[in-house]
């Protein structure tokens, strides 16, 4: 097979880079926090995450998806980002304090991150197309 007949490696490189960045962002924002907070007045538990952690992760992942969309790598983003976030979630959830609930959480992470990634990547692609039109 000569150079011209080989498929481009670019989408694969995008998938690896996006997946690694999304997984690192997950671990940086959420992977270290496993303790729930107990409200001393009401006795209710919240967490383990604070709002700033979830917002921070969403912003980083949003930027990744937008940049991928602008570079016409929507499919790479749709494959890599949700997969990386879901795997990172599963890796931390199965060893957490309530390991029995991870399948539900994994499904929600997969669906939510796929929907968000699709929306933001398509917005990025649309922005790139308008710029070149």
- Between 33-37, 55-59, 81-85, 91-95, the lowest mean confidence (pLDDT) is in 33-37
Assess if residue 87 is contained within a domain.
Answer: yes
| 88: in domain | yes
Q: Answer whether residue 116 is part of any domain.
A: yes
Would you say residue 68 lies in a domain?
yes
Helices (H), the chain: 10-26, 51-70, 74-93, 102-132
Entry pTM:
0.85
List the domain range (segments joined by +) for residue 126. 52-133
The answer to whether residue 125 sits within a structural domain is yes
Quick check: 77 pLDDT over 60? yes
Q: 97 vs 58, which has greater pLDDT?
A: 58
- Cα dihedral 76, 73, 22, 7, rounded to 10, equals 50
List residues bridging with 46 in a β-sheet.
37
Confirm whether 39 is domain-assigned.
Answer: no
Is 3 among the domain residues? no
Strand-pairing partners, residue 37, are 46
Total of domains in the chain: 1
Question: Is residue 40 in some structural domain?
Answer: no
């Amino acid at each position: 097979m000569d150079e011209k007949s080989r498929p481009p490696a670019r989408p694969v490189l995008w998938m690896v880079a996006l997946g690694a960045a999304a997984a690192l962002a997950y671990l940086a924002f959420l992977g270290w926090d496993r303790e729930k907070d107990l409200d001393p007045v009401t006795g209710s538990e919240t967490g383990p995450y604070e709002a700033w952690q979830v917002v921070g992760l969403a912003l980083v992942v949003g930027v990744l998806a937008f940049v991928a969309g602008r570079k016409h790598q929507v499919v790479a983003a749709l494959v890599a980002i949700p997969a990386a976030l879901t795997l990172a979630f599963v890796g931390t959830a199965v060893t957490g304090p309530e390991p029995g609930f991870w399948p539900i959480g994994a499904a929600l992470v997969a669906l939510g991150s796929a929907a968000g990634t699709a929306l933001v990547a398509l917005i990025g692609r649309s922005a790139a197309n308008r710029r070149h039109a």
